Amino acid sequence: MASRTVLVGVDASETSANAFNFASKQCRPGDVMHVCYAYAPLMDFVGPEFSKAPTEAQHQAWREQEEQRFQKFMESLPKPDGVKVESHIMAGDARQVLTDMASTKSADQVVVGTHGRGFLGRAIMGSVSSYLTHHSPVPVTVVPKDQK
């Protein structure tokens, strides 16, 4: 059987740990699992009478904080036997980062968790899983928040 490439989108939450564990159980020896953590970069603050852009040092400190969070998260997860697990951290909107990475890594499947927000929560916060089901170039599995 040919090996598969699975992309798992995570945000260091319990629901994304559930998605990782689900994907791990689906993978076979020889498969590759790309685990991608996308974080929001610092933004400029602009108002009618002011403008404030983060310094390069602030951007670097933010990235290091996010890298530590992701590393701690990855260390907490059991790794599947015989599966190559590659970690990726990228600044940007998770919806676009995961859609792009599914193409660039030639993924066969994308796996993400869901926070189970209602209509209002999705309208305000957006939904990565909903976006991916409509825009991903490959099949998407959305793991329910209560899935263990």
Q: Name the nearest CA neighbour of 114 among 99, 125, 129.
A: 129
Question: What's the pLDDT score for residue 124?
Answer: 40
Question: What's the pLDDT score for residue 121?
Answer: 41
Average pLDDT over the chain, rounded to whole?
Answer: 88
Encode pLDDT of 67-76 as tens digits.
999 999 999 9
DSSP 8-state assignment for residue 79 = P
Go through the domains of the chain in sequence order and give each one's CATH number.
6-38+60-143 (3.40.50.620)
Helices (H), 76-118: 94-104
Angle at which helix 94-104 crosses helix 128-135, to 10 degrees, equals 40
Count other C-beta atoms under 10 Å from residue 72's C-beta: 10
Q: Name the nearest CA neighbour of 130 among 108, 102, 99.
A: 99
Residues of the chain where predicted confidence (pLDDT) is lower than 70: 1, 46-47, 49-50, 115-126, 147-148
Question: What's the pLDDT score for residue 125?
Answer: 41
Give the number of residues written for the chain: 148
Task: Please say whether the beta carbons of 75 and 106 come within 8 A.
Answer: no
Integer-rounded Cα radius of gyration of the chain: 17
Question: What's the pLDDT score for residue 117?
Answer: 52
Question: What's the pLDDT score for residue 1?
Answer: 67
Question: What's the pLDDT score for residue 2?
Answer: 80
